[in-house]
Structure 1
Amino acid sequence: MKKTLFKLQLLFFISCALLVSCKGKTSAPSKEAIAQIGLKRGKLVLCGVPEKHFGSVDFEISGEGKIKEDFNLAVALLHSFEYDEAEKAFAKIIDENPDCAMAYWGVAMCNYHPLWTPPTGFELEKGARAAAIARSITQKSIRETEYIDAISSFYTDWDKVDHHTRSVNFEHGMEKVHRDNPGDKEAAIFYALALDAAADPTDKTFRNQKKAASILFALYPGEPNHPGVAHYIIHTYDYPGLATLALPMARRYASIAPSSAHALHMPSHIFTRLGLWDESINSNLASISSAQCYAPAAGIKGHWDEELHGMDYLVYAYLQKGENKLAKAQWDYLNNITDVYPVNFKVAYAFAAIPSRYVLENKLWAEAAKLELKPKKIPWRNFPWQAAIVHFTRLMGNVHLNNLDSAKVELAKLNVLCDTLVKQKDTYKANQVKIQITASEAWIAFYKRNNDEALRLMNLAANMEDQTEKHPVTPCEVIPARELLGDMLLQMNKPEQALQAYEADLKTHPNRLNGTKGAALAAERSGEIKKTDYYHLQLLNLASGGSGRPELAAIRQPY
């Protein structure tokens, strides 16, 4: 009887301990353990509107007063992917309340950044240390323990298990938090984020995304100013056929969190999907300006990665309006950038994609054939997919100049890069390079006058691309494969088939200038008068502000 009573008393004591707030002082980690995390600290750097405008968040934690206010700001920053500033906000809480387990959870979340570039080894170590400390602190509620267990599952065996598998582990962890705490809005929002992060890029049913959307839209009426709800709806519907559903949110998110450079940029994902180029341009100009303000204020040497990310989307939008001078000005500006922080996936992508897009969209084959990987400071060996973009561009340039030996040299390099990605078990990026390889082989076959093989391969490349999705960091494939198919068919004097290819691609990439121009030419050569007029008018609308594209001048004359 005494033993039973003792066990009940012990269980009661443990239960009480688990419900103690962040203010408890009995299990704080040592200063040495905290120092080993390597926390980012300092005054929060804010750009945009003067006030701290990051939206409204009410994350339930046990503490009251200042700690809750600080925690809500940190979570709001986290929801807009302002990871450095969010970590500084969580670090401030740790410095003042070293036994607040959820502050370490926040640091671990800052170093995961789902939907963005995967964490580096340094970030994985940091996040794992923070998660371990969070788990070691006993003064936390059962709900907080579940949050911490969820993020810990992402970092478990991070040096042995691939990123996608660990993202799925996080999804399952957040599903448990959401299921066990049905009234917790933050659990629902982070679960929706986890669903998007763990989505299979080849799943054309969008199972995860649709589930995430149902959660987020159910929350929106009661949380109209929540940055995570708006932000994640945009990511959730960042797909052809779904993007229209996120347009109202895209037009609202920047006003919810106007002090976030990423929030200013993020709506352009939907604008890009829908071919709303003016809105995309305005969105990215605002984001770039905010990022340029942030870099010196944060003590960054050179440029912040968010600036280059916005530039990537901005150049793409300029090119779709035929604004060559404005696009070239961004490329020239890019050529003067040598120092960027941090050097990551999206930085390497911008450096590779911006010049490649310019020369390919304008069919500047001589310039394309000699394009170089710049700047040299970028460790391109760490970014094989991005390097492949430039080699693909060089190959296409050489093919169209009929320099087939040089094209084959570039093809060999693409195969090496693809093999590297396969060995790294990066299936998605390896597949993207395979699409480029297949398209490259098609064009080499075409210039060898083997039309049947060229069409077989180009159709294969287009079908491969149809079965997957673009990476969420990028505005578009450098050149859509089905548009390339249309170009090839047009050169083979098969205008009816070319028109079908262009029109199929325009459903996925609406208002692309070259696709629209190709459709107009194919329709004209097919004798499709109504479609010719339709696509000519589309071109005039796209390039209504004047264009640096000389081939559009002839179309402009009759109207």
Structure 2
Amino acid sequence: MKYLNPSHRTIILLIILCCCQSKKEQAQFQQELKSINLTRGEITLCGSEAGQFGKVSFSLGCSEDVKEDFNLATALLHSFEYTEAEKVFVKVIDKNPECLMAYWGVAMSNFHPLWAPPTKEELEKGSATIKLARTLKNKSSKESDYLEAVATLYDDWTTLDHNTRLQKFEKAAEGIYTKYPDDKEAAIFYALALRAAASPADKTFVKQRKAGDILNAMFPNEPDHPGIAHYLIHTYDYPELAELALPAARKYAAIAATSAHALHMPSHIFTRLGLWDESIESNINSMSAAKCYAENSGMKGHWDEELHGLDYLVYAYLQEARDEKAKEQLVYLQSMNEVVPLNNKDAYTFAAVPTRYALERKDWKQAMALELKPADFPWENFPWERSVVSFGKVLGAVHLRNEAIAKEALATLYTNHEKLIEKNKAYEANQVQVQIKASEGLIQYLQGHKDEAIRLLAEAAALEDATEKHPITPGEVVPARELLGDVLMEMKEYSKALEAYEANLKRHPGRFNGLYGAAQAAQKSGDIKKATTFYQQLIAIAKLSDTKRPELATAESFLKQNI
């Protein structure tokens, strides 16, 4: 360098310094990336059609050689295959570390806006990923907008509650949707954000209807997009709206046939509409895919998605009076020694399936003897889910006139409710409050206080009607308004009982015991035409019954005499 003039030497030294600094920054970046416990590996999903995840075209700012992987990862994200989506987003990062949207994808894969709130580990991973992505220099304003939108789900997570962050995400997603009107993915993710931020107490469904309008406008031109069909199902997963989702429900499984979740999701709508055959087929396929996934991924135990499908499957079997089929699934569930991950889906299924099996068949002795199983499951973390068992015990004990056990189970419901209030879990606390009021009403009836019993059961029914069920469950183990009808029947208030049953069937169409109760109430109140209709519906849904429930014999006898 002695032959160069001073200015040239300065320029060269600056170039060398910059190169050294750049290498140092790159090394530090890679070290920080390595410190984040990102999920890597090949995708291991399996379903009725291998490799079928739907069609997505969305790869902002990434190099050409990773676009196919990025679109695959986004398709997986839209079907809530979060672990597999993260694997593919990380594959993109490893190939193209400057692809900011791949970091966005990792953060999106760890939040799960329609499921349970993320764990501490997921929040830490998402936060670290966003922090690292923010240091990337070559990013467009649109990419920054996407990153900052998902950041609202993680920023200040130690001080802001889950719902507050969902509301912030909705506003950020709306900003992207408004700013980039030609971006299809912006519209789809905004619809998801609207559904995630919707209040379960809003019976006008303002946000759901807005999300539905956005998605329905796109569906005809994007018939194979997994997110549109999937989010339409979630958006309309309400008794008042379910019919609107039927086209999407009957399409989605074919769009993303390699996803166990996609195979299951249509059953949400089939359940809402009492389409039990379709629900059964949906969940058999989903459970098969979930078992395959657990085996292929080397999972120790059963995947939570399999248990989720099992609860929906048992519910449908019981409505068709296919009790032996339901029992097979109950025995299978009770044989499970390990499930992954341990979460509310597992807890709800473990609690609900044996409770449903007893109550739907009116086996009150079995209901009164219900216990929390498996015994080594961390039930202390799931007050709402374990309340299902306590509620079942109340119903069994009341029917067997065992007031002591009924009150003991009610006391457990009080304790669970208090714990949910302490944890600021208002929705779950509200669900347990429905069970408490219904239980108090039934005990009052057992004690001979009929007016008070009706008042409490009516309050429970109104409270249940005012909020929506959680997607985790196909439905309440016994709807409160159906219980109200049952008590009114015992009081020989047949017209009022019919009114209760009919109102219940609007929200829970095709329920075996609801139809039977309505038929009995109509018959005893002298409305033979209605009784005939309800008995015919009962016989129709139980056409594949593998047991002879006494209700079916009653229905057949009535129809022989009146048709």
- When the two structures are superposed, what TM-score results if normalisation uses the length of structure 1? 0.94
Structure-1 separation of matches of 2:379 and 2:409: 16
SS at match of 1:30: helix
Q: Which runs of 4+ in 1 moved over 3 A?
A: 24-29
Identity %: 55
Q: 1:462 to 1:321 in 2, by over 3 A?
A: same
Q: Which amino acid aligns with 2:420?
A: L
Is the 1:25–1:99 contact (alpha carbons within 8 Å) kept by the matching residues of 2?
no
The 5 Å alignment of 1:360-509 reads 360-509=359-508
Q: Is the 8 A contact 1:234 1:270 kept in 2?
A: yes
Contact 2:47 2:286 in 1 (8 A): no
2:280 corresponding residue in structure 1: 281
Change (3 A) 1:111 1:555: same
Q: Once the 2 structures are TM-superposed, how far is the Cα of residue 29 of structure 1 from its aligned partner? A: 6.0
Q: Which residue of 1 aligns with 2:356?
A: 357
Matching residue of 1:144:
143
Matched residue, 1:14: none
**What is the deviation of 1:440?**
0.4
Q: Does 1:534 pair with 2:533?
A: yes
Task: Give the distance between the partners of 2:390 and 2:130, measured in 1 at CA.
Answer: 41
Aligned 8 A contact 1:302 1:339 in 2: yes
Deviates more, 1:442-451 or 1:218-227: 218-227
Cα distance in 2 for residues equivalent to 1:148 and 1:106: 9
**Larger deviation, residues 383-392 vs 153-162:** 153-162
Q: CA deviation at 1:65?
A: 2.4
- The alignment partner of 2:153 has SS state of helix
Q: Quick one: distance in 1 between partners of 2:171 and 2:32?
A: 29
1:333 maps to 332
TM-fit CA distance, 1:314: 0.3
Contact 1:265 1:287 (8 Å CA) reproduced? yes
Question: 1:201 Cα deviation (Å)?
Answer: 0.2
1:76-475 mapped onto 2 (5 Å cutoff): 76-475=75-474
Aligned equivalents of 2:123, 2:46: Cα separation in 1: 28
Deviation of 1:429 after TM superposition, in Å, equals 0.4
What letter corresponds to residue 206 of structure 1 in structure 2? F
Contact persistence 1:435–1:465 (CA under 8 A): yes
Which stretch of the first structure deviates more once superposed, 131-140 or 278-287?
Answer: 131-140
Residues 116-166 of structure 1 deviation map (CA, whole Å, 9 limit, x = unaligned): 122111111111111222222222111111111111111112122211111
Instruction: Find the aligned partners of 1:28 and 1:52 in 2 and give their Cα distance.
Output: 36
Q: Give deviations 1:230-282, integer Å, cap 9, x for gaps.
A: 00011111111211111011000011111111111100011000000000000
**Corresponding residue for residue 553 of structure 2:** 553
**Quick one: which amino acid aligns to residue 282 of structure 2?**
S
CA distance in 2, matches of 1:546, 1:369: 25
**Separation in structure 1 between the aligned mates of residue 319 and residue 365 of structure 2, nearest angstrom:** 21
TM-score norm. by structure 2 comes to: 0.93
State the AA in 2 paired with 1:30: F
Hey, what's the Cα distance between the residues in 1 that align with 2:315 and 2:177?
Answer: 39
The CA distance in 2 between the partners of 1:75 and 1:28, in whole Å, is: 28
After alignment, is 30-39 or 105-114 more displaced?
30-39
CA contact (8 A) 2:494 2:525 kept: yes
Q: CA deviation at 1:549?
A: 4.3
Instruction: Say if 2:61 and 2:99, in contact at 8 Å, map to a contact too.
Output: no
Moved more, 41-50 or 200-209: 41-50
Retained in 1: the 8 A contact 2:59–2:70? no
Residues in 2 aligned to 1:366 and 1:349: alpha-carbon distance in whole angstroms: 22
Q: Which residue of 2 aligns with 1:56?
A: 55
Shift of 1:28: 8.0
Question: Are 1:421 and 1:427, in contact at CA under 8 Å, matched by a contact in 2?
Answer: yes
Larger Rg: 2
Pairs aligned (count): 536
- Tell me, in whole angstroms, the C-alpha distance in 2 between the residues paired with 1:198 and 1:545: 40
Task: Name the CA distance, whole Å, in 2 between partners of 1:458 and 1:423.
Answer: 26
Relative distance call for 1:295 and 1:348 in structure 2 (3 A) is same
2:41 equivalent in structure 1: 42
Counterpart residue type for residue 392 of structure 1: F
Query: SS of the counterpart of 1:176?
Result: helix
Show the counterpart of 2:30: 31
Over 3 Å counting, the alpha-carbon distance change for 1:341 and 1:168 in structure 2 is: same
> For residues 69 and 365 of structure 1, do their structure 2 counterparts lie closer, same or farther at Cα, with a shift above 3 Å needed?
same
Q: Distance in 2 between matches of 1:540 and 1:508?
A: 20
- Distance in 2 separating the partners of 1:290 and 1:226: 20
* Greater Cα shift, 546-555 or 324-333: 546-555
Q: Aligned letter for 1:305?
A: D
Query: More deviation in 38-47 or 265-274?
Result: 38-47
The secondary structure found in structure 2 opposite 1:154 is coil
Q: Distance in 2 between matches of 1:312 and 1:549?
A: 23
- Matches of 2:157 and 2:35 in 1, distance apart? 18
CA deviation after TM superposition for structure 1 residue 191, in Å: 0.5
What is the CA distance between 1:66 and its match in structure 2?
2.3
Q: Which runs of 5+ in 2 are unaligned?
A: 1-22
In structure 1, the gaps of 5 or more residues are: 1-23
Residue number in structure 1 paired with 2:3:
none
User: What CA distance in whole angstroms lies between the structure 2 residues aligned with 1:158 and 1:323?
Assistant: 46
- Deviation of 1:515 after TM superposition, in Å, equals 0.2
Shift in Å at residue 97 of structure 1?
Answer: 2.0
Q: Which amino acid aligns with 2:536?
A: L
CA contact (8 A) 1:338 1:377 kept: no
